Structure 1
Amino acid sequence: MTATATAKGPRLDIIARQDATSDYFPVHLTTTAAPACFAEGTNTVPRKDGGFDIIVDTADDRCIQKAGRTVASTGLTKVQVFIDSPDLKLDVVTATQFVVGMYSDALENGSLAVAFDLNEAALKSVRRNVNIITLARIFANSPNNIYHTVDFVTTYYHELEKAYNEAIAVSNLSSGKLSFKLYTPEDDFFKENCIGLQTVGQSSDYAPCLGVIDFVGEGADNSKIDIALVGKGIAFDTGGYDLKPSKFMETMHTDKSGLVYVAAATVLAAAMGVRKHVRCYLPCAENRISANAMVPGDIITYPNGVKVEIGNTDAEGRLILADGLILASKDKPKYILDAATLTGAAKIAIGRDMCAVLNRTNSMDAQMAEAFAYTKEEYWLLPLREYHKRYITARRAQICNTSHGDGAPGASTAAAFLSFFVDPEIKWTHLDLANAFHKDSSPYYGTGSTGATVYALAHWLVGAEY
């Protein structure tokens, strides 16, 4: 089965406004309220000279992304953007936001063309950003019958590599070294180090795997890892024998979003010229039902000695993240970050418009916060305390993969589980990607995978110093 359409996605044309032809529909972003003849709250007003006024509220940091979503809701896919207010700023970040807002999964086999009043250097940066972010959105949302585990990870990496090479070819940056390795159950390394992947993946006819992306930027030490990332890649999650209800299973092809987003962030940072050695662990498996599948009560022991009792087969993502976190800790980087669509509890706590951040310090890393603010992406800090570990005690092992007890805070207990697999001497942050996918559109994102956090994490990788 081919996946050409899915892999390629929409045609994206980002051009200078001076080069826009007459078929580029004019949209004017303004802070001026709609005339009195329009209903209160109207944000799209037709202009006498043609085109639309899109009314934005500068109190919202993501107002230009919201404007992109508003434009898309009219059905327009080919526009030229005018800024009609001194309070609005068009630059690489806000132009990227606008295109991110316009995109939805309905465009995956179509086209999107936007003309901005930016110089060519800025336009190259916008193209680089939206190409890689859109690639992430396409692959995170790809159907399970298109790619399975090994094919998914390898195909996605090669598409990212192409995007990286294209970006470097038109930039003034010196390229670093981007490389990829894949480990499967036939490899001794996999057998020795990937206990979680083996446990989850044994349920499927499609073998689990571990992809590893390395980028060594100009001047970086190849022998030392500066930052390690780990992304959860459950290619499809049925819940296993603790079967999900159908209404929760229909979007489980996106349970690989953590893997997809950290890989995209790594490659985008590489294309932006990061001068570090960044390693990205991509554990990938399917959680299915079979005679070989794990069942509640199973006990597994990880290479770091932590013994885990399976309390619920639908808490599988943390089992494969543990593999990546142990390996990342062995690398002795200055920082470890993991990202995952890990809990429904995070969505209940903060909704789907931001990601949850948890770490041992219970404060947002200052450099990460700066990157999120710069790229105008949202997060919310949730607690991770020592006492959260009491919710994951096990009768026959050190910990259980799911929480118990009245009022157990699911996002915090999931992070508490992960903490057992991270070297306590290494800085670590866990992102629970509540905003990874929107079944229905929001003011900022169309339907489908959002690509949220990719841009912020790329900026963090470039600028962070520890």
Structure 2
Amino acid sequence: MSTALAVFVVQQEFSDASWKKSAPVIVNENGATIYLSANEGENLRKVQKAGRQLDNLGIASVQLSGEGWDFERQWAFANGYTDTRSKNKLQWASNAEALSQTRNIVNWTRELINLPPADIYPESLAKRVAEKLESIAPDQVSSKVIMGDDLKQEGWMGIHTVGRASKHAPCMLVLDYNPTNNADAEVDTVLIGKGITFDSGGYSLKSSEGMLAMKCDMGGAATVAGALALAVEQGLQKRVQLVLCCAENLVDGTAYKLGDVITYKNGTTVEVVNTDAEGRLVLADGLLYAGETGAKRIIDAATLTGAAQVAVGNEYNALFSVDDELANKALSTAAAQRENLWRLPLQPWHKENTPSAFADCANSRPQKGGGSGGASNAAGFLLRFAPRDGQGWLHFDIAGAYHNSANAMWATGATALGVRTIAALLND
């Protein structure tokens, strides 16, 4: 006999007087029941909350049972029912192959972000991602890792500068998924991920509380890697390159300092006014690399700014682009994938919002959080390095990627919000 708790969804009025009407799920001798309303958006939130409640009750295994379980309802339940260490067992009601495929990749992404910083450092992040993609498509994936002083030799000064103070050498992973096996095939999309495997803030040192969750600062790298893995498993037939900009932002006598000036491969000079605004420094290298490929589209993801989280909360990711058509496509894709995404302002003049008297620009404003409009100003800094003046470029500031503590929707830790959206954009 199965030991899994049966979970049902029913489209009818809540009627059990022994439970509060606000309860997302009712548990009795027959199993657990989620009562749905006419509002499907609210239904999905309720289903996800029901998953959280069952996890909080210590239910280790469930079977989604009966009619009414479409793909999105099952996925919403799975998001809520996934505990921090991904130990819960879930049997699907339908669409088992597609849901299991998605859940396996999303759980891998979450686990990567949740790993302790002793286990996930620049080289190990690059290695884990390369091994995962190679295991999915061994004949279509090739990769190289540029490490340490080789970054400086090749002109990738942002990554080298940020990571040079750590005993774990900084690196850039360049992974090529080429299903055509034609070396001259055009690159459709370059994915770029911020891979700061631990962020102390550098000399602009974070507080202990602010540093505690900074193992998640490689969430952008994990998100784009997970998105590519999912897209490949779903049958991606376009050439895509993945660029992870990996470093630990630590402090020793060789660390970069306030007032330093970085000269990038394209000649742009950047004054460092905040060593805790390091993500944009490494992403600039990724954008310059993407420009060299001639790719039609460029998508980057990063846990870049606290300002984005202030603007949209931690149940949304923030989107920036000066390409309206592509931005609207991303928003409609996110809506179809039931992932919260909100566009924030970005105009060409945002490039001028981090001025410097000593260089072409600064990496931030010398004030807490980068001042007002900090997320847009960070995106404006990146726009300086985006090819074609930003046409074909999307920047995801993934405010919803990680939760410091559990809430009614998510367990503590990584969410992998954005993986489905970016995978769907690749396969579009």
Look up the SS of the partner of 1:424 in the other structure: helix
Aligned residue in 1 for 2:177: 215
CA distance in 2, matches of 1:373, 1:411: 22
Aligned residue in 2 for 1:185: 148
Q: Deviations over 1:87-130 (max 9, x none)?
A: x4412x4433332321122x34xx32222222xxx322222111
Aligned residue in 1 for 2:199: 237
CA-CA distance at 1:203 after TM superposition: 1.3
Map 1:26-41 onto structure 2 (within 5 A). Answer: 26-32=6-12, 33-41=14-22
CA-CA distance at 1:301 after TM superposition: 0.8
Cα 1:186–1:305 change in 2 (3 A) is: closer
Map 1:319-338 onto structure 2 (within 5 A). Answer: 319-338=281-300
Question: Match for 1:81 among 56, 64, 68?
Answer: 64
Look up the SS of the partner of 2:41 in the other structure: coil
Look up the SS of the partner of 1:40 in the other structure: coil
CA distance in 2, matches of 1:25, 1:142: 30
Q: Deviations over 1:252-294 (max 9, x none)?
A: 0110000111011111111111110011100100000100000
Q: Is the 8 A contact 2:110 2:414 kept in 1?
A: yes
Map 1:58-97 onto structure 2 (within 5 A). Answer: 58-60=40-42, 62-63=44-45, 64-83=47-66, 88-91=68-71, 93-97=72-76
Cα 1:75–1:129 change in 2 (3 A) is: same
Cα 1:338–1:376 change in 2 (3 A) is: same
Aligned residue in 2 for 1:443: 408
Cα 1:100–1:257 change in 2 (3 A) is: same
CA-CA distance at 1:193 after TM superposition: 2.8
Q: Deviations over 1:67-95 (max 9, x none)?
A: 322332222121111245xxx4412x443
Stretches of structure 1 lacking an aligned partner (at least 5 in a row):
1-20, 166-174
Quote the sequence identity (%).
Answer: 32
CA distance in 1, matches of 2:148, 2:317: 33
Cα 1:447–1:220 change in 2 (3 A) is: farther
Q: AA paired with 2:132?
A: E
Aligned residue in 1 for 2:111: 138
Aligned residue in 1 for 2:97: 124
Q: Does 1:371 align with 2:354?
A: no
Q: Is the 8 A contact 2:351 2:384 kept in 1?
A: no
Aligned residue in 2 for 1:462: 427
The count of aligned residue pairs is 421
Q: Does 1:103 align with 2:79?
A: no
CA distance in 2, matches of 1:442, 1:221: 47
Q: AA paired with 1:408?
A: S
Aligned residue in 1 for 2:392: 427
Question: Match for 1:45 among 15, 26, 49?
Answer: 26
Look up the SS of the partner of 1:59 in the other structure: helix
Stretches of structure 2 lacking an aligned partner (at least 5 in a row):
none
CA distance in 2, matches of 1:336, 1:282: 13
CA distance in 2, matches of 1:61, 1:273: 30
Please say which of residues 273-282 and 143-152 is displaced more in the overlay. Answer: 143-152
CA distance in 2, matches of 1:459, 1:23: 36
Look up the SS of the partner of 1:183 in the other structure: strand
Map 1:289-300 onto structure 2 (within 5 A). Answer: 289-300=251-262
Q: Is the 8 A contact 2:170 2:246 kept in 1?
A: yes
Q: Does 1:202 align with 2:164?
A: yes
Q: Is the 8 A contact 2:353 2:380 kept in 1?
A: no
Cα 1:378–1:65 change in 2 (3 A) is: same
Cα 1:34–1:445 change in 2 (3 A) is: farther
Cα 1:223–1:160 change in 2 (3 A) is: closer
Look up the SS of the partner of 2:128 in the other structure: helix
CA-CA distance at 1:160 after TM superposition: 4.4
Please say which of residues 410-419 and 37-46 is displaced more in the overlay. Answer: 37-46
Q: Is the 8 A contact 1:317 1:342 kept in 2?
A: yes
CA-CA distance at 1:40 after TM superposition: 3.2
Q: AA paired with 2:80?
A: G
Question: Match for 1:153 among 90, 112, 126?
Answer: 126
CA distance in 2, matches of 1:336, 1:423: 9
Look up the SS of the partner of 1:232 in the other structure: strand
Q: Deviations over 1:214-249 (max 9, x none)?
A: 112358875311011100000100000010011110
CA distance in 1, matches of 2:73, 2:34: 15
Question: Match for 2:305 among 329, 343, 353?
Answer: 343
CA-CA distance at 1:401 after TM superposition: 0.3
CA distance in 2, matches of 1:60, 1:194: 46
Q: Is the 8 A contact 2:303 2:401 kept in 1?
A: yes
Q: Deviations over 1:184-217 (max 9, x none)?
A: 1253x65223100111011111100011121123
Q: Is the 8 A contact 2:36 2:43 kept in 1?
A: no
Q: Is the 8 A contact 1:341 1:436 kept in 2?
A: yes
CA-CA distance at 1:46 after TM superposition: 2.5
CA distance in 2, matches of 1:183, 1:354: 33
Cα 1:353–1:83 change in 2 (3 A) is: farther
Q: AA paired with 2:91?
A: A
Q: Is the 8 A contact 1:68 1:100 kept in 2?
A: yes
Cα 1:90–1:457 change in 2 (3 A) is: same
